[in-house]
Structure 1
Amino acid sequence: MGMEIGIAGILAITLIIQLLYYIIYLRACFYQPAVTSSGREPVSVIICSRNAGEYLEKNLPLFLTQDYPNYEVVVVNDCSADHTADLLVQLKPQYPHLKFTTIEQDEKFSHGKKLAVTVGIKAASYEWLLFTDADCVPASPQWISTMQRNFTPEHSIVLGYGGYMSSPGLLNRLIRVDSMMIGLQYLGLAIAGMPYMGVGRNLAYRKSLFFSNKGFAKHTHILSGDDDLFVNETANAQNTAVELSAESITRSIPKKTFGDWFLQKRRHLTTSVYYTTTSKFTAGGEMLSRVIFYCALVWSLVYHNQLRNYIIIAAGIRFIIQGITYIFGSKKLNEKGIWHLAFICDILLPFMYFCAFIYNFFTTKRRR
């Protein structure tokens, strides 16, 4: 009997934790910024590109023709061996606000994206920096305007949503569901005053913040993390804003195979271990409580005959609120036709992250 009561207590506690998280996510679903900038701050859009000439050819004009009066687009040609250099030279006469700089290949020195980002920031003319990737497309010509309306004196960071393009197939839908769930979490927590990460596909911050933080000095030894680690160490409730309008979204090309997606998850885990302790707790608390909830739920349904009806009702409340969150979340982030798959990812993703963690652990151990 004591064990049964204990399991029931665990189920109740994890259910409450889950509901608290979903309340936070629901805030993101209905979020509207309270204070917006009345000015039109000049903006430097920074795009780092390595052998992405094919994407730049299609997408760069979409960034160069934004409906915004005063901005520049800085492209960092990071050791590209394709036609990127020729393309940029060709586009320059047509778009005077296009700037580009090149990092030459050095056989004796290898580097990650952080060097390219740093070079782009140094080349930028303006205080406000707006980041995206070469394979990204803005949802509208108002992308800069909608992000810029959060450039108030109080704010130094603006978090946007970077989703993925839609294409046929189950994998594409799972990737988009995962992106939606992650977006609701980091944007919802930021709205609640607990920012912990951002995505480089749609992120803005002040140039002065970058240099006052000494750039990426605290984690230069990590190849990735130019976006989430920087936000993790500089963002707080006072200096961070969130933009969630449909016009502000960017979308990039998702992975084509499960193996590539799994590798992407592994890379994300390599940076998340460097988050602050508080961030690890707030970001990981939902998934941990979710796993414990499901384990306690299964155990209770099998062994708690007397309480089974109450357990089913409690679990039903959780799934109803979860469904409502995903329905409104998919509408807010313009992720059409995928919300129902969130119930599958709700169970699948914890196991996927666990496998990625184990894989990283033993890979690192073998290297040592």
Structure 2
Amino acid sequence: MDFDFFERTTTEWIAPAIFFGAVVVELFFLLFFFLRLLFLKKSSESDTSEPISICLSVRNEEDRIESILKNLLALDYPRYEVVVVDNFSEDHTLLKVAQLARNNSNLKYTSISQETNFSEKIAINLALKAASYDQIVFLSPNSQSVDRSFLKKLNTQADQSNLLMGYVNYAPEKGWRNKLCRLERLAAFVHSATYSLAGLPVFYEDRNVLFHKAIYFDQSGFRRKMNDHFANLELIFNDRFRKKIRVSIDPETFVREEARLHGGDFSELLKKKVRLAQQLAIVKRLIYSLGDWSKYLVLASLAWMLITEPNHWPFVVAPALLVVMMQFFILKSVVAHLKENKIFLSSFVYVYLRPALHLVQAVKNYIHDKKNKWN
């Protein structure tokens, strides 16, 4: 083993400088950004109960709308309402909602009477206009296992914040498609929560987010964003103004969605993430990209050092191992908080695959946009 590692010319320092620089950058992101998630605390009981409106858009949910609404109407919270927008259902969904509303004063509903190109955004706008309360949380019809303390815990965690981010993911099921989609949504939440807590907010989900509806109306809603079909309220949350954001790690605020996934669902998640990232301010994009790609720079420069200077392996393996162990420890703690232990190892591997997957998707998006530019 050769220990003359520091005896080298200026030119010979280039490769080690790149390697150690990448290690420092990666450690900075892990310690300054991601470590914040480990210091989040679970909430205690709150003395006040701010009224909350739960909003959801439904379409052709005749078979399960009754169970969905009965679950939401049985929550343990003193003042709340459920606002349902029927998105031009072709079955008896609207009729069943109307029947339930007769016996539930805190159930309100409205509907879209025709097919439109922007029905999801129109449904959101209708729900927000119909909502009686200032505090809003949107859920999906797939959210069929909401805890009875869901609103109580959200209210406690809010603490005068503009936005409260809650965890939402698909319920575990057999099959690789379910696992891939869960890995992407888990990684997206960790990414969103990490940077949002550090003052660089980014949202890849608009469900299970408690917010003041003034955030929507102060920006004139979806004005100039109607054609951005890849996302909805995320476009509002990510707009260029500073917000006070909190993240909930109370298990009672977690939402599991029971959905039948199809072949293109994973690609749609990747596509959505890439499109949303392209909408962000350039400074944010640069910071997020540096955080994603610094780990690749560490691995690439490590490989180069081991190939060109095998005698100096202790000097390069030790800091690289420190980075990997730190990543492992932080992710394991976060996954444990989110009750996702069964996909911990695959989520650790996915952290290193995710930037490459997003790059491939970005190239696909670019080619698609070029082909359809004049269509």
Query: Is the shorter-chain TM-score for this pair beyond 0.5, marking a shared fold?
Result: yes
User: 1:210 corresponds to which residue?
Assistant: 216
User: 2:91 corresponds to which residue?
Assistant: 82
Say if 2:75 and 2:150, in contact at 8 Å, map to a contact too: yes
SS of the counterpart of 2:56? Answer: strand
Q: How far apart, CA to CA, are the structure 2 residues paired with 1:112 and 1:29?
A: 39
Which digits, 9 at most, give the CA deviation of each residue in 1:104-156, with x for residues without a partner? 114xx42142211111000101111111111123541111111112444x422
Say if 2:56 and 2:141, in contact at 8 Å, map to a contact too: yes
- Equivalent position amino acid for 1:19 in 2: L
CA RMSD of aligned residues (A): 2.4
- Residue 240 (structure 1) shift: 2.1
Say if 2:142 and 2:259, in contact at 8 Å, map to a contact too: no
Which digits, 9 at most, give the CA deviation of each residue in 1:43-84, with x for residues without a partner? 111111233444534433221111001100001111222332
User: 1:12 corresponds to which residue?
Assistant: 20
Call closer, same or farther: CA 1:307–1:227 in 2, change over 3 Å.
Answer: farther
The correspondence for 1:175, drawn from 161, 172, 181, is 181
User: 1:22 corresponds to which residue?
Assistant: 30
Q: How far apart, CA to CA, are the structure 2 residues paired with 1:140 and 1:35?
A: 16
**Aligned ranges 1:61-100 → 2 under 5 Å:** 61-100=70-109
Q: How far apart, CA to CA, are the structure 2 residues paired with 1:241 and 1:178?
A: 21
User: 2:195 corresponds to which residue?
Assistant: 189
- Residue 335 (structure 1) shift: 0.9
SS of the counterpart of 1:155? Answer: coil
Call closer, same or farther: CA 1:131–1:4 in 2, change over 3 Å.
Answer: farther
- Residue 345 (structure 1) shift: 0.8
- Equivalent position amino acid for 2:200 in 1: M
Say if 1:159 and 1:242, in contact at 8 Å, map to a contact too: yes
Greater alpha carbon shift after TM alignment, 351-360 vs 215-224: 215-224
The correspondence for 2:268, drawn from 245, 257, 263, is 263
User: 2:124 corresponds to which residue?
Assistant: 117
Q: Does 1:301 align with 2:310?
A: no
User: 2:144 corresponds to which residue?
Assistant: 137
SS of the counterpart of 1:77? Answer: strand
- Equivalent position amino acid for 1:83 in 2: H
- Equivalent position amino acid for 2:201 in 1: P
Call closer, same or farther: CA 1:285–1:34 in 2, change over 3 Å.
Answer: farther
Percent identical: 22
Call closer, same or farther: CA 1:357–1:295 in 2, change over 3 Å.
Answer: same
- Equivalent position amino acid for 2:60 in 1: N
Q: How far apart, CA to CA, are the structure 1 residues paired with 2:145 and 2:261?
A: 21
User: 1:43 corresponds to which residue?
Assistant: 52
SS of the counterpart of 1:130? Answer: strand
Q: Does 1:277 align with 2:279?
A: no
SS of the counterpart of 1:337? Answer: helix
Say if 2:144 and 2:258, in contact at 8 Å, map to a contact too: no
Q: Does 1:244 align with 2:249?
A: yes
TM-score (norm 2): 0.89
Gaps of 5+ in 1: none
- Residue 33 (structure 1) shift: 6.8
Q: How far apart, CA to CA, are the structure 2 residues paired with 1:258 and 1:353?
A: 18
- Residue 352 (structure 1) shift: 1.4
Say if 2:137 and 2:207, in contact at 8 Å, map to a contact too: no
Equivalent pairs counted in the alignment come to: 364
Gaps of 5+ in 2: 1-8
User: 2:4 corresponds to which residue?
Assistant: none
**Aligned ranges 1:141-152 → 2 under 5 Å:** 141-152=148-159
Say if 1:213 and 1:234, in contact at 8 Å, map to a contact too: no
Greater alpha carbon shift after TM alignment, 304-313 vs 114-123: 304-313
Following TM superposition, where does structure 1 have runs of at least 4 consecutive aligned residues deviating by more than 4 angstroms? 1-4, 33-37
User: 2:6 corresponds to which residue?
Assistant: none
Q: How far apart, CA to CA, are the structure 2 residues paired with 1:276 and 1:54?
A: 43
Call closer, same or farther: CA 1:339–1:59 in 2, change over 3 Å.
Answer: same
User: 2:353 corresponds to which residue?
Assistant: 348
* Larger gyration radius, structure 1 or structure 2: 2
Q: How far apart, CA to CA, are the structure 2 residues paired with 1:14 and 1:55?
A: 51
Q: How far apart, CA to CA, are the structure 1 residues paired with 2:10 and 2:75?
A: 64
Q: How far apart, CA to CA, are the structure 2 residues paired with 1:332 and 1:101?
A: 37
Q: Does 1:226 align with 2:232?
A: yes
Q: Does 1:314 align with 2:319?
A: yes
- Residue 332 (structure 1) shift: 0.8
SS of the counterpart of 1:149? Answer: helix
Call closer, same or farther: CA 1:181–1:194 in 2, change over 3 Å.
Answer: same
Q: How far apart, CA to CA, are the structure 2 residues paired with 1:197 and 1:285?
A: 18
Say if 2:204 and 2:234, in contact at 8 Å, map to a contact too: yes
SS of the counterpart of 2:139? Answer: strand
